[in-house]
Structure formats: C-alpha cells, structure tokens
Amino acid sequence: MSQIETLGILEEIQALVSDKLQVVSYKWLSRNFLVSSNVAKRLLAEFVEKHGSGLEVVYSLSGWLKNSPSNYHIQLVTGPKLSEAKQVYDGNCRVHVYSVQACIPKDLAALWNTEFIQAEELFKQPTSVDNCLRDNRFCGISNSFVKRNVDGTPAKVATAQPNSVGISGLSIHNSAQFSAPLPSQQNKVQQSSSKVAQKPPIVVKGIKSDSISGGVHDLATKPSADKEKNTSFPSNKKKGQNDKGSTGNGGSLANFWDRASAKPKTCSAPADNIDSIQNSNDAQISACEAVEHENSDIDAQEVNFGRASNSEGNRKRRVVLDLSDEDEYEDAVNLASPDPPKRKSFLGSIQNSKTSVPERPDVDKPDKDEVTVKEERTANREPNRSLGEETSLGSKSTNGKNSSSVKLESQLPETDLKKDKVTDASRNSPKRRKVLKTRIDDRGREVTEVVWEGEETEVKKVESDVPKKAGSGATNATTNTVANTNSRYAVGTTAPSNPGVKTGNKKAGNAKDPKQGNILSFFKKV
Amino acid sequence: MEVDSQEQLQRKQSTYLSLDENFEIQKEVYRGQQYSQIYFARLHMMRTLLYSLVPNWKSHLPVCTVLELKEGKECIIFGTLYKHMKLKPCILDEYSKERSVAPLIKPHNFMHQDDYLVLEDESGRVKLGGTKLSTSVYVTGVVVALHGKETSAGAFFVEDVLEAGLPPQIKRPLKSREDKYVVFVSGLSIGRSSSNPLQFQLLVDHITGHLGDEEEQGLAAEIVHLVIVGNSVEISRGLLNGQNLASKDQSRLCEPFKELDILLTQIAASLPLDIMPGSSDPANFALPQQPLNRCLFPGSTTYNTFRSCTNPHCFELDSIRFLGTSGQNIDDLTKYSEAKDKLDFLERTLRWRHLAPTAPNTLGCYPFTDRDPFLIDSCPDVYFVGNQEKYETCLLKGLEGQLVRLICIPRFCETGVAVVLNMRNLECHALTFGTQISS
C-alpha cells in the first residue's frame, strides 16, 4: 500500500474516531476502504502507534487456554487489560487490534453496531450486486466452491442432497415454467390489449354472447374481494380454459381490475346483461363445454391476465409437490399443499386452449377440480354458482389436463374469488357489506364466513345438493341464504389451515361427483 | 487498493450427503389417524431386532406374548414400556396454565417414587415388578425384551432386561486424513434482549477468516462445515399472544430474522452451513421438525452452501455419519427420567436405538402410519444434541467395535461456547468467545 494512501486512510480514521466518535473496527475499515481484513488490521495497528494516545483500543486475543486443555479462546480486551489477559493463554496468543474508538461504550453491542449497520447497507443492495459482504472477498480464506445464484431463486445445493435438490429444482423448474408461458401470453395480451383497455362494462357486454365468459368477466371485476378464500378455488380451473395464463400484464390490467373492484356499481350495468345471460343459462349449460372457443378464450384471457396480474403481484407461487388422491382419502389432508393447482390450469390452457375433451392423466386432479369447483360453488354466492358450475363442467377436463401438466401453483384462488365476486358484484345489488362471521358448524369445526349483507335484487338459484353436504359451513350458509330472501349470501370461507373444514368441503364436492345430473338443480329454488 | 500480496488460503472441502429423507413429512397424508400406528411400527421393528438377539442372550427360554403368560413360567416377553407417573402433567393442567401469561414452563423432573413400569404389546399389558428394571432410567416408549415370570399378584417379575444395544456401525475407510473441522453451535437466540451479537459476530469472523493473523486464519481454513443446531431466533413472548400487532411491533417480529440472515450470508459466502430448527424457531412443533422456510433467509438462500435441514438431522461428511437433534428429545428425557449427565441420556437413546422414545407420549410427534423415523438403524460416528447447559463430550465404545463421539452443545447466547470436531480423529474442542470488557 502506498504511503500516501496509508496516510490518507489514517487521517480519515483519526477524523472518524475523534470527531465523529465512531467505532472503527478492522472489518468496518476493510469494507469501507476496500482493503482486505489483514491489511485493515495493519492499518489500525499503525494508527494506534501513531495516534493511539487518548483513544481506546480494543484488542482481540486468540489462543489455547492454559487451564482448560482443549479450549480455543477468543476474547476482546481493552488496552490496559491486555497483558493481564495474555496470562490465561497457554503459550503465545495472537493479538491484533480489533477496533479503535474514542471511549469504550457501556453496552458492548455498541462496538458491533457500526459494523452491522454497514453490513446491513451492503445486504440491502439489490441482489444482482456482488458486494464485499456477499462474496466475502476481504477475508483471509477463499472458497471457490461457493456459488451464489443471483436470480434470487434458491441456488441448487452443491452436493448430493436428494430432497433439497428436488425442491430447489422444482422451484427453479417453476420459475422456468412460469417464464415460458409468459411470452405466449404477452402476445395474446397484446392482441386483445385494446379490448382490455376498455371499461369493465364494455368488456362484459362484449362477451354477452358467451355466458361463461360473461360469468368470468363478472367475476373478474372483483379481483380484490376474496383474498382470504385461498382454499381450492376451482373457478380458476373452471376458467382455466379461458385463462391462457396469468402473466401480469401489469399496469393497465391491474388498474382495470382495481377500478372495477372499487366501483361495484359500474358493474351493475353489465349486471343486467349478465342476468339476461343467466336466464339463458339453462340452454347454455349443455353448450358450455362446446363453448370453449378462442374468442371467448381470448377475452377471458385478458380478463384473467388482469386478475392474474393482481394476484401475481401480490403473492408468490407455491410449489405443489404432491397431491393426494382426494377420492381415496376423504378425510385426508395433504401436507404438501393445501390448495389445488390453480396456476396449472392457467399455464396449461396456454398449451391446449381448445381442448374440450379431457385427457386425465392424473385422476386425482380433475377430481380435485370438481371437488373444489363444487366447493367454490357452494362457497360463493348463488348467482355465481350457476355460471361457475357450467364453467367447471366445461373446463373440468381441461383443468384436469392442465393441472397435471404444470406443477405450478400460484395464488390464483384469489383470481377465482375475484371472478366470483365480480359476478356477485355485477349481478347483485351494489349495496353490500362484507361481514366476517365465525361460528361452529355441525361437525364442530370453526368456520369463518364472509357474509354479504345487503339488498339483493335477484335471488339466485340455490343448489339442491347443498344440504347433502355433511355440515360444511357452506352448506349452512346456503341453507341460510335460501331461507333468507333478504340477501344473506354467505360465502363460506374456511381458513386454509383448517384441514377439517376443507376436507368437509371437498367431501361435499365429492358427494356431488356422482350427481352430475343435478346441475340443473342449481337453477331451481329449494 | 491493492490486495494482500500473499496468496489467500484455500478452504478445505468435503463431500456432503444428506440423509434427512426419513424426517421429511411432505409425503405423509393425515387422515385423522392417532398414534397407535407409530407405536405399532416401532414395536414391530424393534421386536424383530430383539428376537434376533435373544438366542445370544438366553436361548433356552421360550418367548411368549403378554396374554400367554402363565404364573410361575419363566419366559421372555417383548413389548413397549410404559411408565406410569403420578406427577406427569396432564393436558388439562397444561391448558389451565397456558391461559395465564406464564413464561416457558421450566422443565423440572416429574419423577416420583411411586412410578411403576408396565410392559405392553399387541395382546395386553402387564405391570412390571422386581428391582432389575430401574424406573428412574426407563421411560415410556422404549422397546425391550424381558426375562422373568408372572407372579401370583399378576405382575411380571423381571429378572433380566435386554435392550437392543448400539446399532451396527458402518466402518469408515481408514485412510489418513488431514485435519478437517466441523463447527457446531446452537442456541444463538438472536432477538433475545440478553443476547450479545458481538459474540456471534466474533464467531463468524473467526470462521470466515477475518479475525486473527495468518496462522489463525490457517486454522480457520480447515473448518469445512458449520451446523447451527436450533434455536437461532427468539421472538419475545409478548408478540406472540395471538393479538393483532401494531406496525411497529411487526417490524420487531422480523428484526431477528433479518439480523440472522445478514450473519448467515456472511457465513454462507465462505463455507457450507446447515441450519436446523429448534423449539423456539418458527418451525412446526411436532418432531420431526421440518426445515425452516427458505423465505426466512432471502439473502442466504441464494448461496449453494446454505442448507435448511430437519430436526433431527442426519448427514454424512466425507463418509462420517453425523446424527443430532436440537435438544427436545433429551430435554424430555430429563423431565421423565434421571441420569448423572446429559451424555448418559445420549448413550441411552443409542442403546435403545431410538432418538426420541418419549415421542409421541410427552413429546410432540407426527402420527406416522407406516414407520417410526426415529429408529436408529446404523450407528452414527458423531451424535450431537444442541441447546444444553454446558459443553460435554465423550467417546462411546460399543461391544462390536462401534465408536461414537457424543457431544452436548451448549447454548451459545448464554455461554459463548461453540464446539469444534476434528473429523480425522473425532476429537473435540471448545471454541469460546469472551467479550467481557470491563473498563
């Protein structure tokens, strides 16, 4: 190190210690002046020699202790105590200057503070920056095997480790998967960007012809509504057909939905449309499966992009490692992930947008879809149910295939929820209040419900299957709703962490499986 | 600025193999089952094992089940021990205690002179009598073979006990190794008001090669691995009472993690590191604790040297097998049995071939259906337990030539002691840090 540089640094240290009363430790010095720790220690030693009078110096001693044979002791001592401290060591102990400061603070942690603040600053730098904290360049030991993954995804652990590799591999796989559909979605987004830019009512009206899409859009206008309804929101899958993937097209779409959610009244206009659509639901139910055509897909796609972008920005992806076969284990709760794959359906639909005939490589997933579909149906407002059901029917197969093809999941449940909420918003009177109610259901499970209290312009059909579910919260909710014409649409929300309720819901869903023929019951008042 | 003209030291490397698959529960499905299945799996595995050992022990005696016992007939029975304890806390007491704002219940011993042991197999139970089986040593959940006979009172008079003994050990290849060190530290308790961050920073500096002169850094370059054995953070109880937190409290909640992440980044940037969850860490309560979520360590997880592991943790470094826990199993044994020191408990768990015999009786455990993951099949070379009061170590020799280094790792925030193991000869020494600067 050149003399001039050394002198310069020493001057600076002097200023810092005397004027700013800062604790200058060797590590702080090394990181600040970008020198290695060993050089920093020498600098400090030089400083202490030249300007050390009047300043407190803390030394670090390390060596083997005399008294206890196999004890390597490292301690910090102040200047005056140095010689005394050396006595406890067996033979030579290594000494170097640890820090220089104006006075010894009472709280020892204060010695560490400055250094830590500096470390924190370095730590907070964007992950792509490889600073001296992150690569440990100023220490005396180098390790070429350390690799840092700058993308932020957990780096694959170097040595053979089956599980973690699997998991990290999966996550990397996930991110890859995620990025793959992005380009394709981007294209489609651009295609329909003009449409997207329109106000919600227009969009909704534009899709009047397709009840499914309409329903989708209606639901979509309430993106933020049901964030808590994480548990298996199958509407994602249902709309999976339409959802080409959820890449955040960000800004405009997000605003689109935010605006929409903020003003439910704007949806009341299209509500009429939806109503008319709804009336024709009966006729369209059978046609729903065939209705999955590209146009509505694209429209819904944009919608879903928007929804997705909302959810995307808010949540992280979740990796679904394993899904149990819901049919077999009715009470089973898969510890891997409580939610069925939503993202799958989105991404999968990119790959097979027009698939109406199901391939079901994974039997359980479609079941789960159905289950969750049913669950959602009962969980949501009745008006949604009809549409949701149709879409679920139509997209069941697609979802099955989708879910199996991509092992990714994100918090798309919110998207579905949003969709549902949109429908609700559009179809029902805007005068609604969302109220959280907690109660104990028949099976002794605690169910938290989001109950909409307000006026209802139209009483929507109720599932007749609902009462068959053994005491699920949704069941009760539905029953209440039926009985209460005064707009008590309970959206049964089960906390994701409560496996029992979820199971119950799923069970209920399962119960519906053999009763596909009762779809029409949705549209009959009980 | 110029860098040191001297060449930087190179850190030594070692091959790592994780054997934690047994302790992962991602594939498990909860169907509302209870614990009978894990007990059955345990009994079944151990009984097969003990059955194979009986001929060497007392081959002339017949084996029978509990129901087949006849008065006066000498025989051997296998089963799971159950210790009936008068003072054992029952859930109702604990529930009522929980309602109060009491701090962590200090573990004290629940033993009483009226405790008695019962042997249970699939057919039935029988109370055990005799002095051979010491009630203060055994706990519920240990599977043993007993030689004795039924008395007129209907109890089983124990004449001899057969434990499974140390499991077989895979012989390490005897090649001359160089000195490579593994550092164990536990109980960092970052976030506790009394913890001294300077101590841990000194440890980090020493291991990463900042502290000391070149000679010392040479020593540090021989450290190949660091294992953090549980209780790395401590969140103040006041924040965890279930109420909504004000925003300033919320930042208090995550501060310990940020601090830990910065420190772990410094470590991960220079050597491989394993972090295990402990009883005060944000992991699941029931054993086996699953790895701490990587989201907690956004800075450190980007390194390929950072590993979040289960508790208990089993791994191999250069074909030396390490097995250890964060202390919950030994702490539970302390509550329900007696020994002269913690190393004794460690030895007992090895002889019983079970990491946590009191699970699921008094120790939280996941209800496995087809296996008991805590059974020790192969004897480790190093068996450690974290979060103990003081540093203790000994070398255990088995009858078949097994050699195990038992280590009790003390809580770092209280003692400033970390443990360093030399993989060449399984010698241990302590690494202590002192920051008592009295002016």
Which pLDDT tens digit goes with each residue over B199-216?
A: 999 999 999 888 888 888
Residue A113: inside a domain: yes
Give domain limits for chain B.
2-28+169-236+247-432, 36-162
Residue A521: inside a domain: no
Cross-chain residue pair B31–A68, CB shorter than 8 Å: no
Per-residue model confidence as pLDDT tens digits over B47-85: 999 999 888 888 888 888 888 888 888 899 999 999 988
Cross-strand partners of A60: A76, A96
Cross-chain residue pair B1–A321, CB shorter than 8 Å: no
Residue A457: inside a domain: no
Better pLDDT: B94 or B392:
B392
Per-residue model confidence as pLDDT tens digits over B313-371: 999 988 899 999 999 999 999 989 989 999 999 999 999 999 999 988 889 899 999 88
| Residue type at position A146 | V
> Which range has the worst mean pLDDT, A323-337, B132-146, B265-279, B423-437?
A323-337
Residues 6+ apart with CB under 8 A from A73: A61, A62, A63, A64, A65, A88, A89, B432, B433, B434
Find chain B residues with C-beta within 8 A of A321's C-beta: 26
Cross-strand partners of B394: B406
Interface test with A, best of B205, B294, B313, B318 (most A CBs within 10 A): B205
In chain A, residues 318-347 whose CB comes closer than 8 Å to chain B: 321-322, 324, 329, 331-336
DSSP class of residue B352 equals T
Q: Any CB–CB contact under 8 A between B35 and chain A?
A: no
pLDDT of residue A459: 38
For chain A, which ranges sit under pLDDT 50?
158-258, 260-315, 321-331, 334, 337-429, 455-512, 526
**Runs of H (alpha helix) within A136-231:** 162-179, 181-191, 193-197, 200-206, 211-220
**Residue range(s) defining the domain that contains residue A32:** 1-122
What pTM did the predictor assign? 0.62
Cross-strand partners of A323: none
Cross-chain residue pair A36–B20, CB shorter than 8 Å: no
| A101 vs A108: CA distance, rounded Å | 12
Residues 6+ apart with CB under 8 A from B213: A38, A94, A96
| A372 vs A339: CA distance, rounded Å | 9
Q: Which CATH number fits domain B2-28+169-236+247-432: 3.80.30.20, 3.50.50.60, 3.40.50.300, 3.60.21.50?
A: 3.60.21.50
pLDDT of residue A462: 37
CB distance B386 to B417 below 8 Å:
no
CATH number for the domain whose boundaries are B36-162: 2.40.50.430
Written in H, E and C, the secondary structure of A369-416 is HHHHHHHHHHHCCHHHHHHHHHHHHHHHHHHHHHHHHCCCECCHHHHH
State in Å, rounded, how far the first CA of chain B is from the last one.
36
By 3-state DSSP, what share of chain A in percent is helix, strand and coil, each rounded to 5?
55, 10, 35
Cross-chain residue pair A157–B307, CB shorter than 8 Å: yes
Q: Which helix (H) or strand (E) holds B6?
A: none
Q: Any CB–CB contact under 8 A between B1 and chain A?
A: yes
Better pLDDT: A447 or B37:
B37
Q: Any CB–CB contact under 8 A between A511 and chain B?
A: no
Find chain B residues with C-beta within 8 A of A325's C-beta: none
Residue A4: inside a domain: yes
The nearest alpha carbon in chain B to A157 belongs to B304
Q: Average pLDDT in the B93-116 region?
A: 68
Residues 6+ apart with CB under 8 A from A313: A248, A250, A254
Find chain A residues with C-beta within 8 A of B12's C-beta: none
Q: Which of B121, B112, B119 is nearest to B154 (CA)?
A: B119
DSSP for B267-302 reads HHTTS-EEEE--TTSSS-SSBSBPPPPGGG-TTGGG
pLDDT of residue B438: 53
Ramachandran region, residue A479 (left: φ > 0; alpha: ψ -120 to 50; beta: rest): alpha
In CATH, what number is assigned to the domain containing residue A3? 3.90.1030.20
| A84 vs A229: CA distance, rounded Å | 66
Better pLDDT: B250 or B408:
B408
How far are the Cα atoms of A88, A229, A478 from residue A472, in angstroms, in the given order?
Answer: 71, 15, 10
Number of domain units in chain A: 1
Find chain A residues with C-beta within 8 A of B291's C-beta: 164
| A312 vs A323: CA distance, rounded Å | 22
ipTM entry:
0.83
Find chain B residues with C-beta within 8 A of A70's C-beta: 427-430
pLDDT of residue B307: 92
Structure tokens at A135: 């690569």
